[in-house]
Amino acid sequence: MTDENSASKPKENILSALPASTPTTTPPQATPAETGTTSADKEAKAAVVVTAPAEVKAESPAPMQPVVRPHAFVVMPFGKKKGGDGSLYDFNAIYKQMIKPALEEAGFEPFRADEETASGDILTDMFQELLLADLCLCDLSIDNANVFYELGIRHAFRKRGVMHIQAGRAYMPFDIFNVRTLPYHITADGVPDPEFLKNDIQAIARMAKDTWASDRDAVHSPVFNLLSGLIEPDRKALRTPLATGFWREYNEWKQRVTIAQRQKRIGDILLLTEEIRNPLIKEEAIGEAGKALASMGRNELALAQYRKGLEVNASNLAFRREEAFHLNRLGRVDEAIIKIENLLNDFPNDSEATSYLGRIYKEMWTESWKNIRDKTKRLKAAFDSYHWLIKSIDSYLKGYRIDLNNYYPGVNALTLSTIAIYLADRFDNKKDPDPDITRIREELFELQGALIFALETKVEDDNADYWTLISLAELRVLTADNIPNVVRSYRKALTASRRNLFYLQTSHSQLEILRALEMRGEFVQAAIQILEEEMARVGKDSFTGNLTKSGKRKAKTPDKQTFLFAGYMVDHPRKDKKTFPAEREADLRNEIRKKLEKFNARPQDIAYTAGLSAGSEILFAEVCAEKGIHVEVHLPLQESAYIKEFVAPGGDNWVDRFYKIRSHPLVEDVYQLDRIGAPKDGDDLYERNNRWALYSSLRRGIKNARLIAVWNGVGSRPKDRDAQLTRHMIELMRETGGVIETINTSNYIHNFIDNVLERMMDEGSARGSSQSSTKLKKIQKLEPGRKK
């Protein structure tokens, strides 16, 4: 309120094309310069690159996912006002006819305070917009107190992202006379001058793009220009929960994602996060979504989220750390090290980044010996590669000393130091011990005392989290004199685990190192038993330990797969083009069965569809149920509306089959409106449903996801909705980089037409009927590309 009132192979790097990472905050035709003071800027520029197939680019210019536009807040008077010289200004007309179209042309989402219609404290919401918007456009045509007050707030808190425009006068107040201000033209009635309107819109759009695309260190505020030592506050510090309207989108998102995380619904998290439009809220949401996906063990999806976050804000330190962390978890060690080293160049005293580097070195060390079966050789190999062990210990120690309240690196340093001494006692030269080992021996007692004292004090807090409690438990494994002490510590940690399987598996893997090295055997085994019992309770389906209780590696079992399906409805009178003759149902069912058998589909696999329409989707669900495979059906409409639109056109028999398969114990139907809410304005309901089903199919990773599609490879955009949606699903899977298997029904059509033609020709020759000749021509039009 500014006034007084086909089968494709998985891509090598699927993360760069994952749909969850495609929305961008860069306006069209204007890529922001990423030349700030940190090395993350250049990296973020190339963090997400989506390359669609050539045919998709040519035929589907619209983006496959929602595009997030940067937010522009307009500061200006409302209604009709007079200037100091009595001239008239119609600011509502100026906004609607010129400012709003200019900002939209520049790729921004414009907003003016009087456009806030939702309930809430409009004044507070206005302050949030003013402080957090990517761009503030201020109309300074008249000396309006509210406008200059709001401009002063923006100048004081944000150093960049502000532009000035004005009409009518050639001067500016003294305090901002030296700030570049773009002039525009109005008539005597105070509305945009039609003669100059097009040029003024282009000029404002160009200035908006240039302001947004300027160097990240560029300073647009005269306050920050003059007071060079002034530090811009963290944007999180500018957030207030009182701005209920501004943060409503985030709060609604948080509620749904929290439920999705508890129910392990990856598709919900990915889709809901993708749809957030406000870039500032999106940055907050990406961080939460990344944590949720990581806690579910989906490192590749978490990586895609954090890289998307770096597009929104390349300077986000947490996103940079998490990018490196998940690269390492995915086995891309060299990339992870480079990311961490660049981060430490920018922030040498970052405790968490230093600790991440210690983790990378630890895993390089364990990789050198963990697969050796022979006990003696395994221990000797662990000692022979202790240079990586020492490097890891030193990195963890440095991280702990930077921040003594960060227990994670301290406990790891202590654990690895104990291991180093244990191995040195067995294999090091007693007469000439390694000086690094000697140094570690000397530091161990002091480190152990400091950690035990700090952690024992911390765990007395009722709000102590899982990582604090498990850190003390891990210390007990190394230092306790009796097993019950270890057991009590681990059981207490479980009370804070919230039955999170990822947490439990992380702690389990730490103990596996000790077990593989045969250290503190009884203590380690007692802790492992407690964790494995809890993991079995949380979910047997998800837990696959690497070692048996005897320490031997378990035999590798086949990965569990997910099957995504899309396909044509059965031919019916309303269809524009024939794609699935009802007479060929048995053939199509057999083709679907063959595709599932090709991938050795088993009951432990899971299938997804973006509907249950009359035709191939019901057939697929029926075949899966026969094979004992669970099917999750994503429906874009409520049941009655869906049946009317997508099932009833096939006939009563298909309606009966819909109800029968939907009621099958292996088939679960989920409704879009109930589960993830209504789509945003402008988002296609059915394409959204496709994205939702596809993202859900990524629960076991893209490498285990397969799309089976009944599709004839039509080159141009089909007219039938089910054909359009089948094509859309294939394009989505191509962008994601998953495997696609197609079933082409064109042969069914040709054979069907040939049989009819043969009968018609027989009838025509027997009767000499002109009516048969007319029908013949109509049938030939069913397949324009078919040879006659």
Which helix (H) or strand (E) segment is 184 a member of? strand 181-184
- Choose the most confident range, by mean pLDDT, from 398-402, 429-433, 621-625: 621-625
**pLDDT category of residue 588 using cuts at 50, 70 and 90:** very high
**pLDDT category of residue 85 using cuts at 50, 70 and 90:** confident
Percent pLDDT > 70 in the chain is 80
Token reading at 140: 């300074």
Q: Quick: pLDDT tens for 238-285.
A: 777 777 777 777 888 888 888 888 788 889 999 998 888 776 778 888
- The CA dihedral of 548, 551, 552, 557, to the nearest 10 degrees, is 30
List the end-to-end C-alpha distance of the chain, in Å, as a whole number. Answer: 70
User: In the prediction, which pLDDT does 117 show?
Assistant: 47
**Residue 348: CB partners within 8 Å, gap ≥ 6?**
none
Taking the C-alpha atoms of residue 733 and residue 727, their distance in angstroms, rounded to an integer, is 10
Q: How far is CA 203 from CA 102, 181, 209, 275, 379, in A?
A: 8, 12, 10, 31, 71
Mean pLDDT computed over 540-547: 40
- More confident: 530 or 28: 530
Taking the C-alpha atoms of residue 110 and residue 592, their distance in angstroms, rounded to an integer, is 49
Taking the C-alpha atoms of residue 717 and residue 450, their distance in angstroms, rounded to an integer, is 68
Q: Quick: pLDDT tens for 684-715.
A: 899 999 999 999 998 888 888 999 999 988 65
Q: Quick: pLDDT tens for 191-203.
A: 999 999 999 999 9
Q: Are the C-beta atoms of residues 424 and 404 closer than 8 Å to each other?
A: no
**Residue 143: CB partners within 8 Å, gap ≥ 6?**
83, 84, 173
pLDDT at 717 over 50: yes
Token reading at 266: 């990856």
Mean pLDDT computed over 90-111: 92
Which helix (H) or strand (E) segment is 41 a member of? helix 40-45
Is the Cα torsion angle 225, 227, 232, 237 positive or negative in sign? Answer: negative
- More confident: 342 or 777: 342
Taking the C-alpha atoms of residue 311 and residue 445, their distance in angstroms, rounded to an integer, is 45
pLDDT at 69 over 90: no
Q: Are the C-beta atoms of residues 343 and 353 closer than 8 Å to each other?
A: yes
What is the rounded average pLDDT for all residues in the chain?
80
- More confident: 10 or 518: 518
pLDDT at 379 over 60: yes
**pLDDT category of residue 65 using cuts at 50, 70 and 90:** low
Token reading at 319: 């996103």
User: In the prediction, which pLDDT does 573 show?
Assistant: 85
**Residue 674: CB partners within 8 Å, gap ≥ 6?**
none
- More confident: 546 or 697: 697
**pLDDT category of residue 746 using cuts at 50, 70 and 90:** confident
- More confident: 403 or 114: 403
Instruction: Give the Cβ contact number of residue 499 at 10 Å.
Output: 13
Look-up of token digits 């040029």? 199
**Residue 460: CB partners within 8 Å, gap ≥ 6?**
none
Percent pLDDT > 90 in the chain is 35
Token reading at 557: 């079992």
DSSP letter (8 states) at residue 345: H
Q: Are the C-beta atoms of residues 91 and 80 closer than 8 Å to each other?
A: yes
pLDDT at 750 over 60: no
Phi, psi of 82 (to 5 degrees): -110, 145
Q: Are the C-beta atoms of residues 261 and 295 closer than 8 Å to each other?
A: yes
Q: Quick: pLDDT tens for 329-339.
A: 888 988 999 99
Taking the C-alpha atoms of residue 248 and residue 8, their distance in angstroms, rounded to an integer, is 41
pLDDT at 658 over 90: yes
Q: Are the C-beta atoms of residues 677 and 640 closer than 8 Å to each other?
A: no
pTM: 0.70
Residues paired with 165 in a beta bridge: 139, 182
Q: Are the C-beta atoms of residues 522 and 477 closer than 8 Å to each other?
A: no
Angle at the Cα of 183 from the Cα atoms of 180 and 187, rounded to 5 degrees: 165
**pLDDT category of residue 398 using cuts at 50, 70 and 90:** very high
User: In the prediction, which pLDDT does 84 show?
Assistant: 80
Token reading at 522: 């009884």
Among 502, 517, 548, CA closest to 389: 517
- Choose the most confident range, by mean pLDDT, from 34-43, 107-116, 421-430: 421-430
pLDDT at 656 over 90: yes
User: In the prediction, which pLDDT does 324 show?
Assistant: 92
Residue type, 113: A
User: In the prediction, which pLDDT does 116 show?
Assistant: 57
User: In the prediction, which pLDDT does 62 show?
Assistant: 54
DSSP 551-584: SPBPPPPPPP-EEEEE-PBPP-TT-SS----GGG
Q: Are the C-beta atoms of residues 139 and 91 closer than 8 Å to each other?
A: yes
User: In the prediction, which pLDDT does 663 show?
Assistant: 94
